[in-house]
Amino acid sequence: MSNLIVHGGTPLAGRIVPSANKNAVLPILCATLLTREPVRLHGVPDITDVKKILDVFRSLGSSVEMDAKSRVLNLHHRDTHFDAARDRLPEEMRSSIMLVPGLLARFCSARIEDDVTGCTLGVREIDPHVEVFQRFGASVERQPDGLVLAVPARLQANDHWTDYASVTTTENFVLCAALASGRSTLMNAASEPHVQEFCAFLKLLGAQIEGLGTSRLTIHGVERLGGGEFTFAEDFHEIVTFLALGAITGGRVEVKNSTPEQFPLIDRTFAKFGVQIIHENGWSRSVTNGPLKVKEPFTRNILQKVEAAPWPYLPVDLLPIFVALGVKAEGSVMFWNKIYDGAMGWTSELSKFGAHAFLSDPHRMVTFGGKPLHAAEVESPYIIRVAIALLMVAASIPGKSVIRNATPIRRAHPQFVENICTLGARIEWVDSE
């Protein structure tokens, strides 16, 4: 594990170009298994989860050529092989479950390891994914170290209505349906920007997908997919994070943003903390007029609130970023995570900075902002955006703070600390003993 040393109190300023979205990159990497033709990807981030997926491809005989400097990746799965009894998929990485559809389509077998996990965001069940695979004709056998799946031949098209709008379940359905025989329809599909980017990539390869950006997807299965060349868009998580860093430190940060049409609700959420977001000429910047202050609701006797749920709600992954603003801004805000239970249980770490935050229940937190804050040593749970939120608070406070176990940041954001330092921050990685 690694710690971050943060010397805070410096207003951050400058221009920055975000990396690609991990939540688009990983499913697209898994989707390349569906084709035997060469694929070239531009803007692939140098993060640990990408490296794990590429290591799996190499172990299965795929051709992998990654230029870390240009971030160009060439993949060719022509000579790929798989044996469910011998080959293993990555553990400690939730996205590895999206390798299953490609393996079923190519080799009629796949496996799900017992330890398929990700960030510690409460219980994240695999049952919805297993149900999707079964609906496409897969049998499932439980073995001591995981589940083994098999199909007798080609995947069979079907119609499905999910219990909730799960991103990964939606992506697994689309991956299965792309090469299945017939037309498949998914109701209650997730529609996040990274899901739309993932579907756009599959369409580039020849998949027939209708309904992008909606909760109803229709996929007409094709015999085979081709190759292609694809460039990733900027990660809206990073865009928001850099804008928030500018606001919380009282600086002026501009971020490259080619998709401002995805930001109206995010912009309104920033406005609840006294932050104006301006989009001009492909760049976005945050503007504050003095110290952050929570906007009072017109309805009497209620708290300002930020609710996060599946898109088109405010994305849950961004909630900790706004919690950091809530700690800093004068006024009170109720934050509501409508998806994950147990993802808000880091108020004790905020209190070490002198912040006043109250955990109402496993889904809701109230911040009483504007309190005097001081540098501190805190410990991050294994949640990417929480580690970043703690870093944000530390960056806004004069003095030396330590964010222990900040390693999750590296799972999603390449050169994240180095990029912040170009804006004037004094932050460094230190390996823990």
Read out DSSP for 325-386? HHHHSBEEEEEEESS-TTTT--HHHHHHTT--EEEEETTEEEEEE-------EEE--S-HHH
Would you call 175 helix, strand, or coil by DSSP?
helix
Our measurement of the distance from residue 106's CA atom to the centroid of its chain's CA atoms, rounded to an integer in Å, reads 27
Q: Phi-psi category of 408—alpha, beta or left, where left has phi over 0 and alpha has psi -120 to 50?
A: alpha
Q: Which two tokens stand for residue 167?
A: 């991103």
Using CA atoms, how far residue 59 sits from 27, 38, 77, 391, in Å, is 19, 18, 12, 36
- 119: which residues sit within 8 A by CB, 6+ positions away? 94, 382, 383, 384, 408
Q: What pLDDT digit, counting tens, does each position of 154-204 carry?
A: 999 999 999 989 999 999 999 999 999 999 999 999 999 999 999 999 999
Residue 242's pLDDT is 97
Determine contact, residues 31/230, Cβ cutoff 8 Å. no
Per-residue pLDDT of the chain (433 residues; tens, 9 = 90+): 689 999 999 999 999 999 999 899 999 999 999 999 999 999 999 888 899 999 999 999 999 999 989 999 999 999 999 998 888 887 666 778 999 999 999 999 999 887 554 444 344 578 999 999 999 999 999 988 889 999 998 999 999 999 989 999 999 999 999 999 999 999 999 999 999 999 999 999 999 999 999 999 999 999 999 999 999 999 999 999 999 999 999 999 999 999 999 999 999 999 999 999 999 999 999 999 999 999 999 998 899 999 999 999 999 999 999 999 999 999 999 999 998 888 899 999 999 999 999 999 999 999 999 999 999 999 999 998 999 999 999 999 999 999 999 988 887 787 889 999 999 999 999 987 6
Nearest to 410 by CA among 370, 433, 382: 382
Radius of gyration of the chain (CA): 22
Counting beta carbons within 10 angstroms of the beta carbon of residue 252, is it exposed (0 to 12), middle (13 to 18) or buried (19 or more)? middle
For residue 338, the tally of other CB atoms under 10 A from its CB is 14
| pTM score | 0.88
Residue 122's pLDDT is 43
Q: What pLDDT digit, counting tens, does each position of 106-158 carry?
A: 999 999 887 554 444 344 578 999 999 999 999 999 988 889 999 998 999 99
- The angle at the Cα of 295, spanning 290 to 299, to the nearest 5 degrees, equals 160
Say if residue 312 is preceded by a cis peptide, omega within 30 of 0: yes
How far apart CA 367 and CA 359 sit, in angstroms, is 9
Q: What is the dihedral of CA 173, 174, 176, 178, to 10 degrees?
A: 160
Pairing of strands 377-379, 399-404: parallel
- 20: which residues sit within 8 A by CB, 6+ positions away? 43, 44, 45, 232, 233, 234, 235
Our measurement of the distance from residue 391's CA atom to the centroid of its chain's CA atoms, rounded to an integer in Å, reads 18
- 237: which residues sit within 8 A by CB, 6+ positions away? 21, 23, 315, 317, 318, 385, 412
How far apart CA 337 and CA 211 sit, in angstroms, is 27
User: Which residues pair with residue 74 across a beta bridge?
Assistant: 40, 65
Determine contact, residues 100/146, Cβ cutoff 8 Å. no
How far apart CA 404 and CA 380 sit, in angstroms, is 6
Using CA atoms, how far residue 420 sits from 102, 255, 410, 427, in Å, is 37, 12, 14, 8
How far apart CA 384 and CA 403 sit, in angstroms, is 12
Residue 151's pLDDT is 95
Nearest to 402 by CA among 386, 389, 417, 390: 390
190, HSE (Cβ side, Cα atoms, 13 Å): 23
The length of the chain is 433
- 399: which residues sit within 8 A by CB, 6+ positions away? 7, 8, 9, 374, 375
How far apart CA 240 and CA 138 sit, in angstroms, is 40
